[in-house]
Chain A
């Protein structure tokens, strides 16, 4: 997947829309014997590895499932506390799946709004006159492009660092947004686009965005024949 996600943020930094296109997450499953050789801690309501990086399990990876059953925050699927469960030697041997923590929708909302402020600070700290905010942020794993419209809406796209043609994609997404959201008489401006808005549901916006994403020429992706909402 060359394009990882699409976000839209309104003029005051509030969240409007979000779409994720990646499924692959680095995960590692291992069978453990008592005692456990990784040190775990609770962070943000999740059980996270704090020490003991090996075999694909990295520091910061969250505990996703025990013996195939997905965990629920810091409790197992049956409701027992994970840390207590792992201290009990009678439960071993067991197999645990570690991986990058999946972000809840709340957790996705926060960085999107945080970016709005960082965008403004980037323009204030500029050594040159007349700079806009942050248009492109690059790391070794992804590139984040931001297009700010004249009305203050920010359209943000996370892509692979080698991906090109993003400017056109951003303009195309802007076009889709204005066609589907703004021309809809039931849509209130600057509100999140969700299935609760009468007449406009998330599926109807996703399909055209999905088409726009698959049409971006990419050295890494084949054209996809079917669309998944």
Chain B
């Protein structure tokens, strides 16, 4: 049971943060292209789910899985999207992603904006404190193991 990687996107599709723990295969395209592809894919999946849904949806798209990995998705009211790829053993990471947003991300995000009046919203979060805190949080998760299954 392991976490492969994690993306954080803002409302306009720019990637705010990307973290990698156990990734075995790179996508074969540059990082920027990969972010755009990931964002585009999720945007399409979301609009596709709202069209196909037989009843009105409350939360929308949650996860998808393939034969090898599972992608968990969490979107806030302001348009911040958190995406986590894990292996198939993880049941439902919505609460974890919510935690990441509220304590790790928003806690540091707000601090980063407030204490740094020169930083621009929508650019990559380059705060080291944020990266290390997020890294520690992921490693402390009960289903994370450094040696992937």
Contacts and interface: CB of A to CB of B under 8 A. Distances in A.
Contacts, number: 113
Most-contacted residue by chain A among B25, B44, B50, B66 (CB, 10 A): B66
Contacts of B110: none
Contact of A126 (B25, B51, B53, B63): B25
Contact of B52 (A26, A60, A111): A111
B24 A129 contact: yes
The 6 closest A-B pairs by CB, nearest first: A127-B4, A131-B68, A128-B68, A137-B64, A127-B23, A132-B67
24 contacts: A100-B55, A100-B56, A107-B51, A114-B44, A115-B48, A122-B41, A124-B27, A125-B27, A125-B41, A126-B68, A127-B22, A127-B85, A128-B4, A131-B67, A136-B65, A137-B61, A139-B59, A139-B61, A140-B57, A140-B58, A140-B59, A141-B57, A142-B53, A144-B52
Interface of A: 4, 22, 24-26, 58, 60, 100, 103, 107, 111, 114-115, 118, 121-142, 144, 158
Nearest to B46: A139
Nearest to B64: A137
Nearest to A4: B54
Contacts of A128: 4, 24-25, 68-69, 87
A75 B37 CA distance: 39
Contacts of B54: 4, 22, 24-25, 100, 141-142, 158
A26 B85 CA distance: 34
B131 interface: no
B58 A138 contact: no
Contacts of B62: 138-140
A196 B83 CA distance: 45
Contact of B56 (A58, A121, A134, A158): A58
Given A118-B45, A136-B65, A125 B56 contact: no
Contacts of A25: 54-55
Given A26-B56, A111-B51, A122-B66, A127 B25 contact: yes
A133 B41 CA distance: 13
B37 A121 contact: yes
B1 interface: no
A122 B55 CA distance: 26
Nearest to B21: A127
A56 to B, nearest CB: 10
B89 interface: no
Given A58-B56, A128-B25, A142-B54, A123 B66 contact: yes
A44 to B, nearest CB: 10
A126 B4 CA distance: 10
A127 B61 contact: no
A13 B43 CA distance: 19
Contacts of A118: 41, 44-45, 48
A17 to B, nearest CB: 16
Contacts of A139: 49, 53, 57, 59-62
Nearest to B20: A127
Nearest to A61: B56
B135 interface: no
Contacts of B4: 127-128
